[in-house]
Amino acid sequence: MNITAKVALRMIPDSLATQPIFLCVDDTMVAKAGTRFENVSKLFDHAAHNGSNYLNGHCFVSIMLCTPVWKNDRVSYLSLPLGYRMWQKKESKLELAASMIRQVMPEFQEKKQVIILCDSWYTKRNLVSIVDEYLNLDLIGNARIDSVMYAPAHTGRRGRPAKHGKRLSVETDFAFSNEKIGDYYIGAHRVITNLFGCREIQAYVTATEKEHGTKRLFFSTIFPEDLQIFCAWQEKEPLNQTGSDRMKYIPLFLYSFRWNIIPISALGILKQATMNRKRSGLFVTIWCEAAKGLKCLSI
């Protein structure tokens, strides 16, 4: 995993050395027909469409690295799987993902901004707390829509300062954009949530319709003004269309990079991977040669 990260970092041109890189976290399930396989478990698959949300199989937690390169005079992000590890019950998937990130973070100590991207299954305390361990690490993640949020505390009053302001609602306290950006209206608000302790973060709510549309909630530990990214040079929309009125939405636009993470069951490059069995369990290492086959997987 660390060797692959080193190879990927060497692919970043000097002119893009200050641009953020992304660590995408996800998991995938591999069904097994029987129950006699080592470490096979009955797993809940929230994405199943076969009439049952449970299957017998293995669950792999995966980490993908997205790095910037030039492509036709535009900034394109290459997506490279760093590694997969099998979940074995002795630690949660959140703890497993956190340990994988800790393993690879020493390779990124010279990068200014490393950003974790994850869905609501991983935007939980056991994983998000890792951003407090590294000065250059942040997180942008989908969150439960019912997450408790508060406005930052007001200052200037006498007495002991409050820890936070009033409780916020995704229904009434987020002012949406006048028009859709892509497929959604977007609202933004600085908040405090128990998930990140006393840390002030950026929250986003997306809605298919302003009044009664489906809403989703996202948290970002990095604020738009702190991001160092060449928006105008980006290959994809809406990031390359970010004018002054859309700057506050940049962290949310970056979340789309995680959509290119590839399920282990569909990754043909695994045929070239080395399968290693250790006492801690079975895991997959994607060696340097795998990078050659993944150059076409730009975001």
Query: pLDDT digits over 95-133, tens only?
Result: 999 999 999 999 999 999 999 999 999 999 999 999 999
Q: For residue 176, what is the DSSP state?
A: B
Average pLDDT, the chain: 81
* Helix, strand and coil in the chain, % to nearest 5: 25, 35, 45
The tens digit of pLDDT for each residue in 180-213 reads: 998 999 999 999 999 998 899 999 999 999 888 8
Percentage above 90 pLDDT, the chain = 56
Q: Quick one: which of 263, 287, 270 has its CA closest to 24?
A: 263
Q: Quick one: which of 27, 200, 202, 197 has its CA closest to 129?
A: 197
At 140, the pLDDT band (50, 70, 90 cuts) reads very high
Does residue 151 contact residue 138 with C-beta atoms inside 8 Å?
no
Q: What is the fold, at CATH topology level, of the domain defined by 2-293?
A: Transposase Inhibitor Protein From Tn5; Chain A, domain 1 (3.90.350)
**Is the pLDDT at 244 greater than 80, yes or no?**
no
What are the start-end ranges of the E strands in 15-99? 21-31, 41-44, 54-71, 74-86
CA distances from 28 to 67, 93, 185, 194, 286 (A): 22, 11, 30, 28, 16
What is the predicted pLDDT for the residue at 273?
A: 36
At 290, the pLDDT band (50, 70, 90 cuts) reads very low
Q: Region 241-245: what's the mean pLDDT?
A: 76
What is the predicted pLDDT for the residue at 288?
A: 37
What is the predicted pLDDT for the residue at 260?
A: 66
**Is the pLDDT at 281 greater than 70, yes or no?**
no
What is the predicted pLDDT for the residue at 35?
A: 58
At 32, the pLDDT band (50, 70, 90 cuts) reads low
Q: Region 132-151: what's the mean pLDDT?
A: 96
What is the predicted pLDDT for the residue at 182?
A: 87
78 forms beta bridges with 67, 298
Q: Region 6-24: what's the mean pLDDT?
A: 96
The tens digit of pLDDT for each residue in 207-234 reads: 999 888 899 999 999 999 999 999 989 9
What does the alpha-carbon distance between residue 231 and residue 248 come to, in Å, rounded to a whole number? Answer: 12
Three-state DSSP class for residue 240: helix
**Is the pLDDT at 279 greater than 50, yes or no?**
no
- The residue ranges of every structural domain in the chain are 2-293
| Residue in the block written with tokens 């809605």 | 207
**Is the pLDDT at 149 greater than 90, yes or no?**
yes
What is the predicted pLDDT for the residue at 131?
A: 97
What is the predicted pLDDT for the residue at 84?
A: 85
Number of residues written out for the chain: 299
What is the predicted pLDDT for the residue at 48?
A: 55
Q: Region 239-245: what's the mean pLDDT?
A: 78
